[in-house]
Structure 1
Amino acid sequence: MTKTRTLALTPGDPAGIGPDLVVMLANSRTADRIVVIADHSVLTERAKLLGRDVSFNDYLPEECNPGIEIIHVDCQYPVTAGEGDHRHSIYLINTLNRAVDGCLSGEFDALVTGPVNKEKMMQGGFDFSGHTEYLAKKSGAKLPVMLLMNQSLKVALVTTHVPLSEVPGYISRERIVATVRVLHKDLTERFGLDSPHIGVCGLNPHAGEGGELGREEITDIIPAIDSLREEGINASGPFPADTIFTQHQLSKFDVVLAMYHDQGLPVIKHSAFGEIVNVTLGLPIIRTSVDHGTAYHIAGRGGADAGSLRAALTLASQLSVRSQT
């Protein structure tokens, strides 16, 4: 008999579309147990705004039935759909901490996160450049790796939420090697890929043109790839970013490793925005997320699309099954 998976879900910014998405899922049939960690009143008020008749059962740890349940975490400040408020940041941290603690203890099989506004989080006094970095610090992971994926494409990053002007300073042989090791390990163990082929982007235009357009490929990226291949990891490159994402090239790789955020993510988001899942590799827990932001402009108005959240929940369930086999 298949074990029911228990997935922790944090909706994210209470003023964004995260609560809308939870409301949209409320009456859906699911084979998993989805435990939403949020303020109960925020969800019920959002349901009223959306004109939906939904109800949420309280979380009972001793039960293990498919469906959606709520762990109430109090949001101390008023919430208005579409109006972000930095005072909500402590509420968001509390929901995340409850979810991560539950995953680390084995109470939950995986974590799925909704969108937050990083600017509001930092205005609220938290050093929060993103879920990826916060979850790594909270769980004690040394190097989190961001992977965005859909059915046909996987893109991972060497650097994540770093100003573009600072990216070259992060591109070192050691960091690339460490990133690819994490990528290889999780693709093998969690995704079940046998010797995944990793295509590595260059940093500079045309992958540096032999040093004429930048030397990071020569000094760091090529030596890193050579070192990885000596370890038996199937890595190739560096390839110019403007050609590795062609269909012909993509067919050769299981995943593309981009050097920085806006080198790789625009490609996958252009191809399938709303269907993409963000996965954090290198954590001691399974974490997936939606591929979009808070979308304040449509919060509470009925225009949200739950496609990415559904995909994130499905992948979290699949990964948790594989991790326990």
Structure 2
Amino acid sequence: MSEQRPVIGISCGDINGIGLELIIKTVSDNRLLEICTPVIFASNKVLNFYRKGVPDINFNFSSIKDSSRINHKQINLYNCWEEEVNITPGQLTDAGGKYAVQSLQIAGQALKEGKIDGLVTAPIHKKNTQSAEFNFTGHTPYLKNLFGVQDVVMFMVAENMRVALLTEHVPVKEITKYVTKENILSKLQIINNSLKKDFLIDKPKIAVLGLNPHAGDEGLIGKEEEEIIRPAIKDAKQKDIFCFGPYSADAFFARGHHEKFDAVLAMYHDQGLIPFKSLAHGEGVNYTAGLNGIRTSPDHGVAFDIAGKNKADESSFREAIFKAVDIIKNRKEYEEQRSNPVKKVTNRIVANAVDEKITEIPE
């Protein structure tokens, strides 16, 4: 890991999406160089193509082919390919997927080898990235495989809430087979560890949502809550994980109960992401908890409908870089505290949990 400002790698995403526009808009702010050193994994030709589409921005970079030659005084472009590429903004093409994967693989390997301190990934499209060589439904399962870990958590984070997912990109009809006691315990353990070391929360409080409407209504609308989720919560408490539930998802968010917890574990994608994206005010970040390396991304997709039109909002992408830098610093502080227990860790994160009794929230 760099002894200077942290080195943040940035994969370019689908070359026909909004990723490169977001990257240019974000890193062109010279103040970013005061907190990190950005390294964009793409090519000169692709980056210059999109630079022309974002006028009135002063954007310069240093082109490198070796991670040991990173220039800490300016933006770096790591050339992942030299050949000419047909760029068609807004179009779903094989080339868009091919080079998105190439950028991700090179950047991911750099993260694994410690050549960069964190990775921020621009959006990819699941349809044109699928192949025999890349048989993954997104960044999260790919990085899980790359780092060789048993489990990870898709963790959506913002200033006012954190939402984790039990299942990610799974068809609705298949969700129930992943709602198991073992899976819930695994996710809760990762969430608990991440809140402590990545967000410096000493005693995290975690809410667990039910699967069925009204959290099963005591077994009248499904049995998963009584037979699986509640027993998993009980076992997690025995492992010193401070968690509660299962809560009815609709009432939970509608009544603002998420503000009383440091994180919420949702059972499936839309159950967690619809309220998150509605309440995170456009600045949410997707964080992959459970990896040795640090990876974040914006909370949106390729947005082909506005690609190449200079209409993309970089707010979430900027937050993804800030969050990666924060987590790098937090992990360092956490390790220093562990090696020196006498030192008092100052928690720079204001936890959402309040002092009232959490058990007063109806489950």
TM-score interval, smaller chain: over 0.9
CA contact (8 A) 1:274 1:292 kept: no
The alignment's TM-score, normalised by the length of structure 1, stands at 0.95
Deviation at residue 26 of structure 1 after TM alignment: 4.1
User: Please, which of 75, 79, 89 is the counterpart of residue 72 of structure 1?
Assistant: 79
Number of positions where the alignment pairs a residue of Structure 1 with one of Structure 2 = 324
Counterpart AA for 1:180: L
Counterpart AA for 1:6: V
CA contact (8 A) 1:38 1:70 kept: yes
User: Please, which of 104, 115, 118 is the counterpart of residue 110 of structure 1?
Assistant: 118
User: In 2, distance between residues paired with 1:245 and 1:212?
Assistant: 22
User: In 2, distance between residues paired with 1:108 and 1:123?
Assistant: 27
CA contact (8 A) 1:154 1:254 kept: yes
List per-residue Cα deviations over 1:223-258 (Å, max 9, x = no partner): 100000111110000000011113442232111110
Match of 1:225 in 2: 233
CA contact (8 A) 1:34 1:66 kept: no
The alignment's TM-score, normalised by the length of structure 2, stands at 0.85
Match status 1:21 vs 2:22 = yes
Which shifted more, 238-247 or 209-218?
Answer: 238-247
CA contact (8 A) 2:10 2:38 kept: yes
Deviation at residue 149 of structure 1 after TM alignment: 1.4
User: In 2, distance between residues paired with 1:64 and 1:45?
Assistant: 23
Match of 1:3 in 2: 4
User: Please, which of 39, 42, 65 is the counterpart of residue 43 of structure 2?
Assistant: 39
CA contact (8 A) 2:97 2:124 kept: no
Match of 1:54 in 2: 59
User: In 2, distance between residues paired with 1:18 and 1:216?
Assistant: 39
Report the 3-state secondary structure (helix = DSSP H, G, I; strand = E; otherwise coil) of the residue aligned with 2:41. Answer: strand
User: In 1, distance between residues paired with 2:41 and 2:95?
Assistant: 18
TM-aligned CA distance change 1:66 to 1:239, over 3 Å:
farther
Which shifted more, 246-255 or 6-15?
Answer: 246-255
User: In 1, distance between residues paired with 2:149 and 2:94?
Assistant: 27
Deviation at residue 27 of structure 1 after TM alignment: 2.5
CA contact (8 A) 1:86 1:124 kept: no
Match of 1:282 in 2: 290
Deviation at residue 274 of structure 1 after TM alignment: 2.7
User: In 1, distance between residues paired with 2:181 and 2:79?
Assistant: 45
CA contact (8 A) 1:77 1:88 kept: no
List per-residue Cα deviations over 1:71-115 (Å, max 9, x = no partner): 011266411111121233332222112112211221111110000
For 1:120-135, what aligned pairs fall within 5 Å after superposition? 120-122=128-130, 126-135=134-143
User: In 1, distance between residues paired with 2:315 and 2:291?
Assistant: 25
CA contact (8 A) 1:110 1:286 kept: yes
User: In 1, distance between residues paired with 2:111 and 2:8?
Assistant: 9
Deviation at residue 287 of structure 1 after TM alignment: 0.5
CA contact (8 A) 1:90 1:124 kept: no
Deviation at residue 66 of structure 1 after TM alignment: 4.4
List per-residue Cα deviations over 1:17-69 (Å, max 9, x = no partner): 00111221342111210000012211101111333553321236245524311
Report the 3-state secondary structure (helix = DSSP H, G, I; strand = E; otherwise coil) of the residue aligned with 2:218. Answer: helix
Match of 2:316 in 1: 308
User: In 2, distance between residues paired with 1:63 and 1:113?
Assistant: 19
